[in-house]
Structure 1
Amino acid sequence: MRDVLARVRGGLTLALQAGVGAALAWFVAHDLIGRPAPFFAPISAVITLASSVGQRVRRTTELVIGVALGIGIGDTIIHFIGTGPWQIGLVVIMAVLIATGVGGGPPLVTQSASSAVLVATLTSTTGQPWTRFFDALVGGGIGLAVMTVLLPLNPLSVVRRSADPALQALADGLHEISAALRVRDGDRVTAALARLRTAEGAFAGFASAVTAARENVAFAPARWHTRGALAQYVDGAPHMTYALRNVRVMIRRVKTALDDDETVPPCLPDAIGLLGDAVALLRQEWAKGAEPLAARERALRAAVEAMRGYDDGVGFSGGVVVAQVRTTVSDLLRATGVESSEAVRMVRQAVGRHAHPRTLRRRATRRP
């Protein structure tokens, strides 16, 4: 029941948007414009609102145009040639060809074809062919107005709901790899890697939510006050995706190190665990809208611990793990708002006293 209530709370704003949009679309088309039965107006408004959650403005606009285009094509053809199986086929062919010809993406093509089928199968041939097309435009316009001006979704809440599972999956994966490496369990490492591959979808949803939220803030004055807190997610999302990819490369090297029976000093699982702590702290600090100071500190500690591996002795794959930890730390620092050059400087300063002995020797031989 808790899960059900949580889902209901998450969908409450969308339900209100759809209800208000449908009512306004009917009121405008029926009472203000004078259409006797504008049932395509509320239909178009609901389709626009229900299909645009987490999507960009361009795709939402395509939905509006696709619904109106399909209705217009279906109305025109059925008005002149009547209804029947071959007429329905012709209507769909024309709708898809025209939607594709104007450069529409999948939303426009799909909505255009489905709306044309709806007209061809459920409506009569009486009346002017342009009227239902006009109703669809009115409803779609009302839907966009409700979504962006009257009842815009809270972009910060949307992004947090998308970011939390993605960041939690990454933190849990790093902690699991740390524990598995500590006991040299290759099967657990493989399972954790598989789960992080699945988490790619959560990170894609996070990125989509950030894009939608950024546009929502731009078009919805009522949500302009969320820009500051939202900026942390907007600026950090790409770098967290980079961190996920680097972590997966690191995990594959962890597996190779175990398969090759390399020496694994305790500092390596410690460093990976600290990376997991940093991601978990970042999730908490973003949710509070706080400066992610604790996440930065924990990430830098992870870099320091990893570099101790050179002193304790690591094999080839272990050295790659150290390098990937360091790269991931830079990604996390960038996600916390640190500029690229400053992130590099902070990592170098933190790990400077733990530089690889062979690297130091190479530097010494190059000095004149």
Structure 2
Amino acid sequence: MTGERDGNGRRHGPPRRAGLDAERFDEAWERVNERGRTAGRDRLQQLRIKSVLAVQAGLAAALAWAAARWLTGMPSPIFAPAAAVAVITSSFGRRLPNTVELLAGVTLGIFVSDLLIEAIGVGVWQTGVIVTAAILVALALSTRGGIVGNASGTAVLLGALSSSRHTLEFPRFVDALIGGAVGLAVTLLLVPINPLRVMRRVAAPTLRELADQLRLTASALRRRDHALAERALTRSQEIGAELGTFWDAFGGAKETAQLAPARWPRRRSVRHYQMSAPEVDQAVWNTRVLARRVLVLIEDGEPVPETLPDAVDALGAAVHALQQEVVSGWGPQDARRHALRAVAEATRAEMAGTGLSGTVIVGQVRSAVSDVLQSTGMDRTEALRRIRDVAAGQSRPDP
């Protein structure tokens, strides 16, 4: 049995173990609190972006209703506001193509429905045949979901309400045309988003999550903590899964900067962030490989030179500095300095002796550093030259 007896003869467990458990509990509790605070900030950022979409959708629906009623004379032009809202809430960055798909799908649905109703009549099974035919024709002509969805929706409408189909076909198309035009006008002319603000609000949380994940990976490597390494890998996978939202927001910002006259003065700044986006994307995938190799290194019991975790930590500091540049508009000097320090630490670790996974980690650090340097505006040739120079400087023997 372990432990010591006190003056009353009672046995107590090892105090060191109790202290270690308390330390781990405190760390876990702090991580939970930090994740909660970060998640709250990110949700608030997303709400701010989507609140603009809500305002745009409400305004577009009201204007489309009024415009369609005035132009067509119909008392209840329900398709116009529906089309306007569909344009507003469609994939961010593809509103103009989606409007074209909307009109193409409606036209195709009308054409197929009209032909089949004349040939087979109307009824329960006829409606099923009409909808099936509309979808098959739409798929044969295009695989785009907008065309297929609107063609099938129009076919359902005309097949089910066949008794008044001659009064539905033309208004359906005109309503879709009016609604699509109003939706585009609202997003590009009346209430255009601020593309620079959207990019910053989306890029900053992604970079912050990436920096936190790298710090977690470095801590797992330094402690040889398998559970911590698994958690770091899971977080890197979560960041990768969120890249779709990242790219959607960037696409919407680019579209607005190109098409909305009020946002044309921001084209240059938007182009700067747009050019950096692929490097951020690549950095996310490189750090995922890095996190996976850390897990394998711990499992295989490979040596961990002291400067290897320091290299991952420095890379996380570089990403954090990049995030501060996005939020505050600071210059890229800090991000570049930390990134090149990561190369130096990784090179020293390689010289000290690494196993297979350790060598891969060194390579991934250098690859991610290249991504970070290019994200700051440095071209690829210059970034690679800087990395080679720093690595060569560490490899030279001291005089």
After TM superposition, the structure 1 = structure 2 runs for residues 130-279 of structure 1, keeping only pairs within 5 Å, are 130-279=170-319
1:68-127 CA distance string (max 9 Å, x none): 543665577568866532232123123212322332412221232134324444685154
Which residue does the alignment assign to 1:349?
389
Residue 309 of structure 1: how far off its partner (Å): 0.8
1:93, 1:35 → 2: CA distance?
30
Deviation at residue 44 of structure 1 after TM alignment: 1.2
Q: Is the 8 A contact 1:171 1:276 kept in 2?
A: yes
Residues of 2 paired with 1:349 and 1:3: CA distance?
Answer: 38
Q: Which of the numbers 357, 360, 372 marks the counterpart of 1:332?
A: 372
What's the offset of the Cα at 1:285? 0.5
Hey, what does 2:23 align to over in structure 1? Answer: none
Q: Which moved more, 1:67-76 or 1:112-121?
A: 67-76
2:76 to 12, 37, 51: 37
Which has the larger displacement, 308-317 or 233-242?
308-317
> 1:114 aligned to 2:153?
yes
Instruction: Give the conservation status (yes or no) of the 8 Å contact 1:79–1:125.
Output: no
Gaps of 5+ in 2: 1-39
Which stretch has the larger CA shift, 109-118 or 267-276? Answer: 109-118
Count residues with an aligned counterpart.
357
Q: Does structure 2 retain, via aligned residues, the 8 Å contact 1:177–1:188?
A: yes
Partner of 2:49: 10
> Offset at 1:36?
4.2
- Measure, in 1, the Cα distance between the counterparts of 2:396 and 2:142: 55
Change in 2 beyond 3 A, CA 1:293/1:72: farther
Alignment of 1:282-321 (within 5 A): 282-321=322-361
Matched, 1:49 2:77: no
Q: Take 1:4 and 1:209, find their aligned partners in 2: how far apart are those partners?
A: 15
Choose 1 or 2 for highest CA Rg: 2
The answer to whether the 8 Å contact 1:45/1:143 transfers is yes
CA distance in 1, matches of 2:267, 2:164: 50
Q: 1:26 aligned to 62, 65, 73, which one?
A: 65
Check conservation: 1:165, 1:202, Cα contact below 8 A: no
Q: Shift in Å at residue 43 of structure 1? A: 1.5
Q: 1:279 offset after TM fit, Å?
A: 1.0
CA distance in 2, matches of 1:73, 1:36: 27
- Among residues 126, 144, 153, which one is paired with 1:105 in the alignment? 144
Contact 2:318–2:339 (Cα < 8 Å) also in 1: yes
Whole-angstrom distance in 1 between the partners of 2:42 and 2:323: 21
Matches of 2:121 and 2:197, distance apart in 1 = 49
**How much does 1:322 deviate?**
1.3
Q: How far apart, in 1, do the equivalents of 2:394 and 2:274 lie?
A: 34
Specify whether residues 334 and 236 from structure 1 end up closer, same or farther in structure 2 by C-alpha distance, changes over 3 A only: same
Q: Distance in 2 between matches of 1:136 and 1:152?
A: 21
119-128 or 230-239, larger mean C-alpha shift: 119-128
CA distance 1:16–1:58, shift in 2 (3 Å) = same
Q: TM-score, normalised by structure 2?
A: 0.80
- Aligned residue identity for 1:172: D
Counterpart contact for 2:45–2:201, Cα < 8 Å:
no
Residue in 2 aligned with 1:94?
133
Counterpart for residue 365 of structure 1: none
Task: Report how far residue 176 of structure 1 moved.
Answer: 0.5
Deviation, 1:298, is 1.0
- In structure 1, the gaps of 5 or more residues are 358-368
The alpha-carbon distance between structure 1 residues 13 and 75, as it changes in their structure 2 partners (threshold 3 A), is: farther
Q: Return the TM-score normalized by structure 1.
A: 0.87
Pairwise CA distance, 1:67: 4.3
CA spacing shift, 1:335–1:2, aligned 2, 3 Å? closer
Task: Compute the displacement of 1:356 (Å).
Answer: 8.3
